[in-house]
Amino acid sequence: MSGHANGQEPPLRGPVQPGEPAPDFELPAVPDGGEPFTVRLRELLPKGRVLLIFYQDDGMPICTSELKAFAQEYETLRQAGVQVFGINTNGIGSHAKFHERDHFPFPLISDFYGEAVKAYGFWDPEERKSRRGVVVIGQDGRVAYVLPHFNPGSLSAFEGVFRALGLFDG
C-alpha cells in the first residue's frame, strides 16, 4: 500500500530537479517599503535568471538568517543579472512587517495557498507551510540548481548556490 499512514493528502513530490521545466506562477509580492505587485515567472525569465529562496515563516530566526545571507550578497547577484525573491505562505501584510523590521533588498512573494511551494516540492504537510530551500531558474525556464533544506549556517551550501550561478571560483 502506498500513501501516508494518516490517510490524508496524497504523497507530495520531492523538490524539483535540475533540467525540469520550472513551474510557472503568478503571485503577489511586496518590496521593502513599496506597494504590492504581481510576480509572473514567465515575465521575469527574459530579464535574467531567477533565484527563489523558499523559507518557512516571516520573522523566525533561522528564516531571517537564510534571507539575510542572500541580502548580504544581493548586489553581487543583481550585477550578475540574477533576480532574487523570498517566497513562503505568509500573507502580504506579514511580509510588509518583516521588511519593516529587516529591510530585505529583494521582494517577498506571498504564496498564501501554497500552490508554487507545492509545485516546486517544498511543501511541509505536517507544518502546512514551506520548507527551506533554494531554486535557481535559468533564462530557458528550466530549473538550473536546487538546494533542498538550505541551512543558512552552512558556508558550503551558500557557495554551492553561487557556484551554480557562476559567481564562485573557490
Q: Span 36-44, mean pLDDT?
A: 97
Q: Span 105-114, mean pLDDT?
A: 97
- Cα–Cα separations (whole angstroms), residue 120 to 55, 98, 148, 168: 13, 23, 10, 25
The string of pLDDT tens digits covering residues 118-153 is: 999 999 999 999 999 999 999 999 999 999 887 777
Give the predicted TM-score (pTM) of the model. Answer: 0.90
The string of pLDDT tens digits covering residues 47-84 is: 999 999 999 999 999 889 999 999 999 999 999 999 99
Which triple of cell numbers denotes residue 84? 532574487
Residue 121, Cβ neighbours under 10 Å: how many?
A: 20
The string of pLDDT tens digits covering residues 8-25 is: 555 567 899 999 999 999
Q: Specify the pLDDT at position 12.
A: 65
Widest distance between CA atoms in the chain: 51
* Strand ranges, E, within the chain: 26-30, 37-40, 49-54, 82-88, 108-110, 123-124, 129-130, 133-137, 143-148
- The topology under which CATH files domain 26-164 is Glutaredoxin (3.40.30)
Taking the C-alpha atoms of residue 101 and residue 60, their distance in angstroms, rounded to an integer, is: 12
